[in-house]
Amino acid sequence: MEPIAFNLWTFVLLAAALHGTGLFVLLIRRTRGERRTQIALAALVLVIVLLLVDYSLMIGGFDGRWPVLGQSLDLCWYLVGPLFYGYIRFFLPGRSRWAPEDALHLLPVLLVLIGTASALFAPEEVRRAIASVPAATTRIFALYFSLLFLQSLAYAYITTALVREYAQGYRQEAAGATAVHLEGLQRLLLVFWVYTGMMAINVGLLLFTGDYWLELDYLVPLTLAGLVYVLGYLHLRSPEWLLPPLTLPPASAALSPSTETSPEVHRHAERLQALMEDEHPYLNPDLRLTDLADQLGISDRTLSQVFREALSENFYDVVNGHRVEAVKRRLADPSQDHLTVLGIALESGFSSKASFNRVFKQKTAMTPSAYRTSARQAAHLPEDPAFTSAVTNSIQHEHAKENWQ
């Protein structure tokens, strides 16, 4: 039986596990916020805690005493990526609905579970035979860590794509909760990429040298420990950085001040309306709330109050609403036929095709191509019922297309 030994790594990992346990308790006791986001984050923290404890047991020599426990906890490595992605997906607005195909995220866990069960219940002579062949053991390690690295890389990529797409749509709102939330998400993504990078180093050394470098392998759980500490820091600094998810007020169709606001706020709303119509600041794709406040000669806080109380919209909705109207006018103008839809969108202040496509369909319930067709045909629609029916079918066909040129 292997002797039990502790070193500095053991205490570092156990300290992080203790920190994560406290964070897990805080998360499950939290009564406010969106429950699915809380559950996903709490599950992620719990899985990391179990992995840190498992690694501490391995370093201390306990895995030789309880091999079934150690091999069972190894399944948690394949849960880190899906849970991290699930948390970010629940966190971002409009992305929390799961489809049946999302069950495929658990497929790697199921495959590893089958492999682990096969190893645990294999005859003793088979396990001894495999253990007696160093090359076979190395290949098993290489396969295990290679699959884990590829899974982590895939989740790092798709999660980064989610946050980047969100940031492109909301980067105009440089002040306020959105910027704060994005800063927190970017810190978490950075740590997850470091975790994936450490795993890549281990896999590379294992494949090219054939040796398992235990000292370098310490870096993988240490990055998970770092992820726990970053989560704890964000939660202590501001719980809203982690929970609840961002919620946006419903978009209004027009820029219409409310009658239940103070005269000063109402006056600022009218000045904002005039500024948008006369100077078109929304054409600047890098427009920020601070820039708009400077043009009006008011503070960021006052302008945020105007959006919230007088317009019942946020900065993003108001600015993009004007951009959509500008696009609609140009799509209906035959003199703009030499421009592509994307060209018109970029000249109207949108920063990317993805954000424009999403916002335009949200505000018009049509694709840009379908809108261009309907606007042109509405301007020259004859009275022939057969022609009218053909036009209607054409519009419906265009509207059904998911992609636009």
Tens-place pLDDT, residues 358-367: 888 888 888 8
Q: What is the pLDDT of residues 212-222, one digit of tens each?
A: 666 666 788 88
pLDDT digits (tens, 9 = 90+) for 102-128: 778 888 888 877 876 776 666 766 556
Which tops the pLDDT comparison, 5 or 398? 5
Banded model confidence at residue 163, pLDDT cuts 50, 70, 90: confident
pTM, to two decimals: 0.57
Instruction: Flag whether pLDDT at 335 surpasses 80.
Output: yes
Closest CA to 50 of 83, 76, 22, 78: 76
Find the mean pLDDT for residues 17-21: 91
Backbone φ and ψ for 112, nearest 5 degrees, come out as -65, -35
User: Is 1.20.1070 the CATH classification of the domain at 8-241?
Assistant: yes
Measured over all CA atoms, what is the biggest interatomic distance in the chain, rounded to whole angstroms? 92
Q: Where are the alpha helices (DSSP H) in 210-312?
A: 214-217, 219-237, 263-279, 289-296, 300-305
Domain chopping of the chain, boundaries: 8-241
Is 62 in contact with 1 (CB distance < 8 Å)?
A: no
What pLDDT does residue 183 have?
Answer: 72
Q: What is the pLDDT of residues 65-97, one digit of tens each?
A: 555 555 667 788 889 999 999 888 888 765 555
Give me the pLDDT at residue 45, please: 92
| Region of poorest pLDDT, from 105-119, 217-231, 284-298 | 105-119
pLDDT at 245 over 50: no
Nearest to 47 by CA among 35, 55, 37, 36: 55
- Range in 43-52, 160-169, 184-193, 232-241 the model is least confident about: 232-241
- pLDDT the model gives residue 96: 53
Dump the DSSP string for 369-392.
Answer: HHHHHHHHHHHT--S-HHHHHHHH
Q: What is the mean pLDDT of residues 374-403?
A: 52
Range name among 272-281, 316-325, 357-366, 377-386 with the lowest pLDDT average: 377-386
Tell me how far apart the alpha carbons of residues 175 and 362 are, in angstroms, rounded to a whole number: 24
Dihedral sign from CA coordinates of 347, 353, 357, 359: negative
Amino acid at the residue 14: L
Mean pLDDT along residues 294-323: 84
Residue 99 above 90 pLDDT? no
Q: Which one is predicted more confidently, 208 or 21?
A: 21
Rounded CA-CA distance 80/101 in Å is 19
User: When comparing pLDDT for 250 and 35, which is higher?
Assistant: 35
Neighbours of 392 (CB within 10 A): 12
